[in-house]
Amino acid sequence: MNSREICLSGTGVTKVFGFGNNKTVAVNNVDFNFYSGELVSIVGESGSGKTTLIKMLLGLTNMTEGEIQFLGKPRDIHNRSKKKEYWKNIQAIFQDPFSSYNIFSKIDTVLLDCIHMRGGRGLPKQKKIEMMEEACRFVNLKFAEMTNKYPFELSGGQMQRLMIARIFLLKPKILLADEPTSMIDACSRATILDMLLNLRNEIGMTIIFITHDMGLAYYISDTVYIMERGKIVEFGSANDVILNPQADYTKRLLHDVPKIHEPWEFSKRRAVVASESSV
Amino acid sequence: MKNTFKQIFRTANFLIGFIIISIVLLFITIYPIFNPGNPLRMIGQDSFTPPGTYFSLYDSLDVSHVYTFRLEGADDNRIYAKLSDTDREHIKEWLLLFNDYDDIFEIRAEDIDLEDTEGLLGLWWEHFDPEVRFDNMTIAERRVFARLDVNMDRLFDFYDKEVWMYNPESGESEYLKSVGTLDYVNVSDVANVRILPLGTDNFGRDTLKQLVSAIGTSLMIGLIAGLIATGLGLLLGLIAGYIGGIVDDFIMFFTNLFTVIPGIVLLILISYSIGQEHRGATTVALVIGLTSWVWTTRAVRAQVMSLRNRDHVNLSKLSGHSMPKIVVKDILPYIASYVVMAFILQVSSGILAEAGLSMLGLGPATTESATLGLMMNWALRYNAHLSGAWWAYYPVILVIALISFALNMINTGLDRVFNPQLRG
């Protein structure tokens, strides 16, 4: 938040799946401005189009309509070399660590690919190993134990940490984290979040964090975007949005966050839902 | 990987199939070493020679070392062998007629055992009477029985046989040697011996030798057809599934076109239009391969479509891998087990398709090589089943069944390892 430079912005971003009667609008005319160095959370329930938005930001899915600007210029990823250049700056961590890795390639390959992507193909072997060791040390893994293993031989938390090691090697400007902690138990979750935040401080990148957990979003983020059925219904600084919500959907999401000290009143919740649906 | 192989070789189904195929392959590699030569050479003048060991009668007379044996039951065997099947039938016929004629004598058809030579001869001598005249019997028929009675006595003539050789120079026959009942020669001393474990076919060709070469040719046809069908299906499926869009539409249009036309009809039409002279084994394999890629394409396409949106493929894209590398490293390994299984099934169905085509007379040209289907076609065309020549078609049927059984067993064995949910 030191500089208010926009690193990624979009206007009228829309994604439609299917056509005719089967048409589903996954992302509906979304505008956003992500500033450099910020940690942005995109919050919404499942099916609200978060992941589709992420895929479009990454350039893995084509937009139906709209424009995305990267570092102030319209994004140009129409051929492979341009895409590769783009992906040096923007990387992602996916939700399910178990399906994120090719089960046929070893951990060394995963990390080596990152070094090669940063132009380290010609480096001596010893230097590459040192880099991989450093990356593993950063995420509290021992490279000596990782080498020559397959990703599926690790635990879910270890796999997700390896994912962060990958980002450590790639040093992108923007990281898109698609619910990286949702498949992991609560203890590992804190570790992984800490690592992500450390990494952010270390290389000064922008993190776009996708989650459905309002509490988590409040805890870590500078800016929060709330998505409902493909639309952004509210955005602003974390304090504004979560402590003083304007949109009904945000209020409902906040209401659904379980609070440890209060008994969870099911009937009250149902009343809220009923009043909403009648509106 | 090593673990998977271990698991595969512990699956009973796979093991059974693998052992059968290995034995077949071993047999067809080793047999030609011991019995070399062209498998389509006509060695016999007769058609459908029964299985057995054949040695030259001429050469057996020239064997210098003659052994003497007094074997128990040798005379009995000689009598059994001399009494021909037709003679046995005649004896039975006479006994049944006599049963109707004579009030005291009673015998039922079931009680007469044609194999029991001693019993038959006993019955004959006890009851045969040349004076008996049956009703409605011609003189010729009566003479048959009279001749049979005389021949019966000859069964017991064990005189030495003399061999004379005709000398064309002097125009006279010269006495060579005499052969007694106790004289034996060792078969290995005879100059020309041929073992025909499955006899000969209608053209007088060694059936086993032909079968061995036919298994080889048929397996090759199946292999080529399977490779073409799987390769084509894999390529088109990968392209259609991964690229999608208009390319997918175009490929699927052709695939659907081929799905709608029944494969066997297409196969028959193409085989017929190529013509008899140009149809070698390779051509037939090509035709079978080019008509059976459809289902592989559809299945591979479906699998690739579900794979291409997986996170590991996305991660590979984000790591800057090129499309061919992603297809080879991130998609192919995931469908490899399926493709291997599809390939095995294609080989099996290729062999069956060849057998079917050849049975209809649309197989490879008959003069070049034998295939399993062609052997069936020959057996069918020359009425092997009417001549009782089981050796001309039973082994072929058995081999076809065995090979497809083994390949299917291998397939289900692999299926159990790669799709453990299906294990029931």
State whether B171 and B146 are in the same domain: no
Query: Does A257 score more than 80 pLDDT?
Result: no
Q: Kindly report the nearest CA distance between residue B330 and chain A, in angstroms.
A: 6
User: Which residue, of B169, B195, B221, is where some domain finishes?
Assistant: B195
**Is residue B72 one of the residues assigned to a domain?**
no
Contacts of A87 in chain B (CB under 8 A): 317-320
Mean pLDDT, chain A, whole residue set: 83
Look at A58 and B322 and tell me if their CB atoms are within 8 Å: no
CATH topology of domain A6-104+172-246: Rossmann fold (3.40.50)
Q: Kindly report the nearest CA distance between residue A80 and chain B, in angstroms.
A: 8
Provide mean pLDDT across the span A237-242.
82
Provide mean pLDDT across the span A244-262.
76
Look at B333 and A104 and tell me if their CB atoms are within 8 Å: yes
Distance between CA B329 and CA A242 in Å, rounded?
45
Report yes or no: A91 at the B interface, CB cutoff 8 Å: yes
Confidence of residue A279 (pLDDT cuts 50, 70, 90): very low
Contacts of B3 in chain A (CB under 8 A): none
Contacts of B322 in chain A (CB under 8 A): 80
State whether B387 and B254 are in the same domain: yes
State whether B173 and B115 are in the same domain: no
Per-residue pLDDT at A273: 58
What percentage of chain A has pLDDT greater than the value 70?
91
Query: Does A217 score more than 70 pLDDT?
Result: yes
Report yes or no: A58 at the B interface, CB cutoff 8 Å: yes
B113-136 in b/e burial notation, b at 16+ Cβ within 10 A? eeeebeebbebbeeebeeeeeeee
B193-196/A206-211 β-pairing: unpaired
Neighbouring C-beta atoms of residue B76, cutoff 10 Å? 11
Look at B312 and A113 and tell me if their CB atoms are within 8 Å: no
Distance between CA A274 and CA A268 in Å, rounded?
10
User: Which residue matches tokens 């046995």?
Assistant: B88
**Is residue B51 one of the residues assigned to a domain?**
no
Confidence of residue A2 (pLDDT cuts 50, 70, 90): very low
Among A88, A99, A104, beta carbon nearest to B311 = A99
Among A55, A95, A114, beta carbon nearest to B319 = A114
**Is residue B76 one of the residues assigned to a domain?**
no
**Is residue B324 one of the residues assigned to a domain?**
yes
State whether B106 and B25 are in the same domain: no
Distances in Å between the alpha carbon of B353 and those of A10, A75, B264, B317, B372?
59, 55, 8, 42, 11
Q: Which residue of B has its CA nearest to A119?
A: B320
Contacts of A54 in chain B (CB under 8 A): none
Contacts of B320 in chain A (CB under 8 A): 84, 87-88, 113, 116-117
Query: Does A106 score more than 70 pLDDT?
Result: yes
Report yes or no: A271 at the B interface, CB cutoff 8 Å: no
Among the residues of chain A, which ranges form H helices?
50-58, 80-89, 97-100, 107-117, 125-138, 143-146, 156-170, 186-203, 214-220, 238, 248-256, 266-278
Distance between CA B19 and CA B29 in Å, rounded?
15
What percentage of chain A has pLDDT greater than the value 90?
0
Q: Kindly report the nearest CA distance between residue A271 and chain B, in angstroms.
A: 39
Q: Which residue of B has its CA nearest to A54?
A: B314
Sequence-distant (6+) residues with CB within 8 A of A246 are: A234
Residue B284: give the domain boundaries: 2-42+202-422
Per-residue pLDDT at A278: 52
* Two structure tokens written together for B174: 């010269």
Look at A92 and B314 and tell me if their CB atoms are within 8 Å: yes
State whether B407 and B298 are in the same domain: yes
Interface test with B, best of A51, A102, A153 (most B CBs within 10 A): A102
Per-residue pLDDT at A1: 43
Nearest to A145 by CA among A106, A102, A191, A95: A106
State whether B207 and B150 are in the same domain: no
State whether B339 and B222 are in the same domain: yes
Look at B312 and A101 and tell me if their CB atoms are within 8 Å: yes
Among A92, A99, A105, beta carbon nearest to B318 = A92
User: Which residue matches tokens 């061999």?
Assistant: B163
Segments making up each domain of chain A, as ranges = 6-104+172-246, 247-279
Contacts of B329 in chain A (CB under 8 A): 102, 104-105
Domains contained in chain B, number: 3
Per-residue pLDDT at B360: 85
State whether B138 and B177 are in the same domain: no
The CA-based diameter of chain A, rounded to the nearest angstrom, is 67
**Element of type H or E holding B177:** strand B172-179
Q: Kindly report the nearest CA distance between residue A149 and chain B, in angstroms.
A: 13
**Is residue B48 one of the residues assigned to a domain?**
no
pLDDT digits (tens, 9 = 90+) for A125-138: 898 888 889 888 88
The low-confidence residues of chain B, meaning pLDDT below 50, are 424
Contacts of A99 in chain B (CB under 8 A): 310-312
Q: Please tell me the total number of residues recorded for chain A in this structure.
A: 279
State whether B145 and B177 are in the same domain: no
State whether B214 and B345 are in the same domain: yes
Question: Which residue(s) pair with B173 in the sheet?
Answer: B166
Nearest to B372 by CA among B388, B390, B395, B349: B395
Q: Which residue of A has its CA nearest to B336?
A: A104
* Two structure tokens written together for B361: 């007379």
Look at A113 and B319 and tell me if their CB atoms are within 8 Å: yes
**Is residue B52 one of the residues assigned to a domain?**
no
Report yes or no: A175 at the B interface, CB cutoff 8 Å: no
